[in-house]
A = this chain, B = another copy of it.
Amino acid sequence: MKSYQEMTKEELLAEKESLEAEYASIKEEGLKLDMSRGKPSPDQLDLAMPMMTALHEESDIIDGMGQDVRNYGSMDGIPEAKALVAQMIGCRPEQVIVYGNSSLNVMYDQVARAELFGICGNTPWKDQGKIKFLCPVPGYDRHFSVTEEFGIEMVNIPMSESGPDMDLVEKYVNTDPSVKGIWCVPKYSNPQGFVYSDETVRRFANLHPAAPDFRIFWDNAYAVHHLYDDDQAEIPEILSECERAGNPDIVLEFCSTSKISFSGAGIAALAASENNLADIRKRLAIQTIGYDKVNQLRHVRFFRDLDGIKAHMRKHAALIRPKFELLNQLFINEETPRGIGSWVMPKGGYFISFESLPGCAAAIVAKCKEAGVVLTGAGAAFPYKKDPSDNVIRIAPTYPSVDELREAARVFVVVARLVSAEHLLEGK
């Protein structure tokens, strides 16, 4: 097969015409497929159904402190839920606060409290003039929405397969006191599925921030979300790395069971140093009497421990791995030889990040939508929704069935070829 770059204008024109015909016939099929969000499929959610009835007798409702989880109290979580979360992300139970169902909300609250009240006795961010967050790109759109909401200036930091460009991160963090945070998804990053290298993690732990209220927002969203049994990424545990580096307060770690139990009804958590926890608890006590401890205990009774979580995640992997592999194989067959796209097959997480030819991503997403296949909006993986090269498309393969995914992927490939051909013809 000839790559599009090698084709003559005439060959490309012929290719385009044939693809236009194919696209027109696809549009007539009236498809309705959604690959826009990282949502578990119903069969993944079914795996956790026994959790629904995990608590049912009066004897089931007392936690490890002897407290009735149905009542008020235990503002920062029940002890066994802290222990479960700690096992999951490899920290100590006393470093954990367990919240409600949304880690995004926990992160939002952290930023909101920093704005309003400051971090650990420092001046509130709202009173510090222009402040900045570093944003490894491509990244998670909802992280960027939070910082944008607060008018925090976002600075793009390029990602590589070993994590963010640490030279740049160090330059910004260690010299600019207006840099207050960085968004990180260290394992199976959203959307590329990249895993921070040991060196990257250690360089994070050894930052010397110019701002005393700088924090790493370490969103360990996919800590146990491996696709393969025999090839699992592990990263150094960030809290102990920061302790060792004499930087115990520099990081706030977030996680949840949203893509382990139920995406709408999991438990979320934060892990941090004693200083940070004390600062947070003081404010949290004004904000709420406590989070849903019944759901916390329900999770503990169902998963029991890390082994329980691992066994459960193997079942998830069995359901979603074929979807990732289907896309990967199709791209290998259809995109690579034509030279119109690249990607890295991830070993975990929820996404494949497809890099089209520069200047083609928005058009591909738009044309897919026209044909009934909804992808994440082009640019969503960048601050202010601005993809500088217009070439990143986040594909979320988990929610559709394998058959639906095959359909959607077929459309995607035709559209990617068509847009690429059109794009290259413009230059001829």
Contacts and interface: CB of A to CB of B under 8 A. Distances in A.
Interface of A: 37, 39-40, 42, 45-46, 48-49, 52-53, 55-58, 60-61, 68-74, 100-102, 104-105, 108, 112, 115-116, 126, 142, 145-146, 149-150, 258, 262-265, 283, 286-295
A284 to B, nearest CB: 10
Contact of A46 (B58, B104, B108): B58
A265 B294 contact: yes
A264 B55 contact: no
Contacts of A56: 49, 52-53
A3 to B, nearest CB: 39
A152 to B, nearest CB: 12
Contact of A71 (B52, B73, B264): B264
A423 to B, nearest CB: 33
B72 A104 contact: no
Contact of A264 (B39, B52, B58, B294): B294
A108 B287 contact: yes
Nearest to A46: B58
Nearest to A117: B149
B58 A55 contact: no
A61 B49 CA distance: 10
30 contacts: A39-B71, A42-B58, A42-B68, A42-B71, A45-B68, A45-B70, A46-B58, A48-B70, A49-B57, A52-B294, A71-B262, A72-B258, A72-B264, A73-B264, A74-B264, A100-B101, A104-B287, A104-B288, A104-B289, A105-B287, A108-B287, A115-B116, A145-B286, A146-B286, A146-B287, A264-B290, A265-B292, A265-B293, A265-B295, A292-B292
Contacts of A45: 61, 68, 70-71
Contacts of A292: 100-101, 264-265, 292, 295
A90 to B, nearest CB: 26
A56 B46 CA distance: 10
A69 B262 CA distance: 9
Nearest to A105: B288
Contacts of A52: 53, 55-56, 60, 294
A200 to B, nearest CB: 28
Contacts of A258: 72
Nearest to A101: B292
A55 B50 CA distance: 10
Given A46-B58, A56-B53, A58-B49, A71 B263 contact: yes
A103 to B, nearest CB: 10
A68 to B, nearest CB: 6
A115 B125 CA distance: 14
Contacts of A101: 100, 291-292
Nearest to A149: B286
Contact of A149 (B42, B71, B108, B283): B283
A48 B56 CA distance: 10
A148 to B, nearest CB: 8
Contacts of A102: 288-291
B58 A108 contact: no
Contacts of A58: 42, 46, 49
